[in-house]
Structure 1
Amino acid sequence: MKIFRSSESYDKVGQRIEFRSQWPGIAEGDKEQEDYAFGPLQSFDHAIIRKGTLIKMHEHKNDEIVSYLVKGEFVHEDSHGSYETIRENRYMLMSAGESFFHQEGTPHMDAEMLQIFVRPREVDLPPEVHFAQYEPQQGFRLIAAPSDAPLLIRQNVHIYDLHGKAGESYAFPAYEDYATCIYVFAGAI
């Protein structure tokens, strides 16, 4: 197992946003490579966005971006007319495709979130945005996959979450011919 530690990330701390971008491909050990992706998994962007912040309208291209809120809430607005408040019981998938503009803001409270960037199976697909509700559950919860998931991602990637408890053991979901990548928010495994 290759381990990528948070000390090997790009951190930016400002007055309104604390931001940590991590590229799982660095675990391969070659820090001079041009591409730090782990297969189609490009990066994890872990951010704390302070109340009253607006990340203005900006473009994404050819990214599948799963937004996973840890705490608080944020408002999403995009070029396709979506205007949604994302709270702890809601996920979002932005399939940027050929071009997609969006902005995020925290008008009412701080937000801590993870955005998981995945490369799509092909470039310049039509842009889409999807939202899904979820309820707390024991064990692994499927968030996004190419089929049979709350969020349909356009790549052979399966994204799960788990709210584990100290001292308990869990069996990771396994798929033949797939590698496993784990992101730990807090604590240790």
Structure 2
Amino acid sequence: MFEIIRANERGRAHFGWLKSQHTFSFGDYYNPKQMGFSALRVINDDQVAPGAGFSTHGHRNMEIISYVLEGEIAHKDSAGNEEILPAGEFQLMSAGKGIYHSEYNASKTAALKFLQIWIEPNVQNGEPGYQQKDFGNAPGLTWVITPDGRDGTLQIKQEAALAQLLLSEHDKLELPVTAGKAYYLHLISGELMLDEQQLYPGDGVKLAAIASLKAHATKGAVKALWFELPA
């Protein structure tokens, strides 16, 4: 499988304080062909107005990842966590048996841009958890979330992993693929040739049953997220 979801094919929502683009069905956007991929259920590309945000609401049995692209998130939850999440950092909240939280734009003047990602867990009704970390800007693939929390990564309740991919213009990299796994790539910025397919910011690719995969940054510095998922 090599299925591209183009940026302009995503669902859209506009609530004044929030502009969002949905890769998969979410809220009022329903596309029966895009209900998620493997355990990956949501990728929302959100822009939040200054001082606005998501008021306190609840989740259960979902692994919720936030990756800040611009600005800062002010996070608060019912487990007692109250944190600021700046640009470049990853947040992983395990909802478990139930958690309430709010996410606000910490600035009164600047917009907040972040990716909201949901992954379905393989453990139900566990204890809620919160993790947050900056993994730097090393070129190539840097693993940020793994099932076992190896090498200082955030630990997720699923046989899934997430890496950040950073390439300078014209850099090439062979991406790691293993039989029996599915993969998803979401391009944040720059232009990327994945095998013979050209990708642009906001594009995503579902991948399965592939033997090899080459990435080539064709224009600008590339930033992307690379998901390893259960088949």
CA RMSD of aligned residues (A): 1.8
Give the match for residue 173 of structure 2: 170
Unaligned residue ranges in structure 2 (runs of 5+): 26-30, 193-231
Amino acid across the alignment from 1:59: G
Amino acid across the alignment from 2:50: K
Give the match for residue 16 of structure 2: 15
Offset of residue 80 of structure 1: 0.5
TM-score by length of 1: 0.89
Contact 2:60 2:99 in 1 (8 A): yes
CA distance in 2, matches of 1:168, 1:184: 15
Give the match for residue 67 of structure 1: 66
Give the match for residue 216 of structure 2: none
CA distance in 1, matches of 2:88, 2:4: 30
Superposition map of 1:1-189 within 5 A: 1-23=2-24, 32=32, 36-108=35-107, 109-147=110-148, 148=150, 149-189=152-192
**CA offsets 1:60-114 (integer angstroms, 9 cap, x no match):** 1111011111111110000001010001242110101121111011132321101
Same amino acid, percent of matched pairs? 23
CA distance in 1, matches of 2:20, 2:100: 20
Amino acid across the alignment from 1:165: S
| More deviation, 3-12/43-52 | 3-12
SS at match of 1:7: helix
CA distance in 2, matches of 1:166, 1:84: 34
Runs of 4 or more consecutive aligned structure 1 residues displaced over 6 Å after TM superposition: none
**CA offsets 1:17-58 (integer angstroms, 9 cap, x no match):** 11111129xxxxxx546x712111112011011211131000
SS at match of 2:190: coil
Unaligned residue ranges in structure 1 (runs of 5+): 25-30
| More deviation, 121-130/170-179 | 170-179
SS at match of 1:140: strand
Paired residues in the alignment total: 182
| More deviation, 135-144/75-84 | 135-144
In 2 relative to 1, CA 42–32 (structure 1 residues): closer, same or farther, beyond 3 Å?
closer
Structure number with the higher strand fraction is 2
| More deviation, 73-82/89-98 | 89-98
Contact 2:122 2:157 in 1 (8 A): yes
CA distance in 1, matches of 2:160, 2:76: 26
Offset of residue 8 of structure 1: 2.7
SS at match of 1:184: strand
**CA offsets 1:140-169 (integer angstroms, 9 cap, x no match):** 111111021521011011101112222211
Contact 2:10 2:21 in 1 (8 A): yes
